[in-house]
Amino acid sequence: MNMASHQKIHPQNMSSSAHDDQQLDFESPQVPTVPLVPRGSSKSDDSHHWPPFQRTIPVIHTKPPRKRRSCCCRFLCWTLSLVFLLILLVGAAAGILYLVFQPELPKYSIDRLQITQFNLTSNSSLTATFDVTITARNPNKKVGVYYEGGSRISVWYTGTSLCQGSLPRFYQGHRNTTVLDVVLSGQTEDANTLITSLQQQQQQTGIIPLNLRVIQPVRIKLGEFKLMEVKFRVRCRLDVDNLAANNAINIRNSSCKFRFTI
């Protein structure tokens, strides 16, 4: 090959190219560079090493079950069980006693009423004295009744007590009938209105309604055993034709109700 035919490559004007690169570097704005590692994260930034922040989670301690509450519940259960058992025993005993003795309530009646004094004095007070005959019947075959002291018997008209008294102490045996004659006396102050009401009642209806109330402490005898003291409460409704002293008084109607309390 001819050496003259080789293509010659001429270098470009380096001076103009360098000038252009310098001009581009001058004109372009400078952008601040961001460090790859944040400040303070490298060991050379700070000589002290602080531990990383950790979030503290509060620990909730659960209380163990209280033994006291358990003991209280157990005590309450035992108490209720004992009470229930006691009620069952009392009910069973009462049922057995009822089957063995077959108790019946006593019966009472007012047989006679006599007024020995029924006077209105000059100072408007009423003095009254009644003689009452009461019949008490005990229908039981195996039950006796002890009538104790501290009884009260009274006669009332429309909420006003006319006279008071008490029953004697006695024992009423099996299937026994006892007739009691009781004297009642009393005094009522400011009785003008009461006398007027009695007179109007007698004129309009021909009867005077009276209430006889008895509160009697008794003790029941079952066989050879005496029970605790209870109270007989008797209320009798009487319809009489008049309240004249020393006069025959007819009892038109009589009914008694009986109950007992502890």
Q: Give the CATH number of domain 107-261; options: 3.40.50, 2.40.10, 1.25.40, 2.60.40.
A: 2.60.40
Dihedral sign, CA of 89, 223, 232, 165? negative
The answer to whether the CB of 92 falls within 8 A of the CB of 116 is: no
Please provide the size of the chain in residues.
262
Dihedral sign, CA of 124, 117, 110, 199? negative
- DSSP letters spanning 48-71: S-PPPP-PPPPPPPPPPPPHHHHH
- φ/ψ bin of 64: left (φ > 0), alpha (ψ from -120 to 50), beta (otherwise): beta
Question: Which parts of the chain register pLDDT below 70?
Answer: 1-69
pLDDT in tens, 14-32: 444 444 444 444 444 555 5
pLDDT in tens, 179-219: 999 999 999 999 999 999 999 999 999 999 999 999 999 99
Residues in Cβ contact with 197 at an 8 Å cutoff, skipping those fewer than 6 apart: 158
> What pLDDT does residue 21 have?
47
pTM: 0.64
CA-derived radius of gyration, the chain: 57
> What pLDDT does residue 175 have?
94
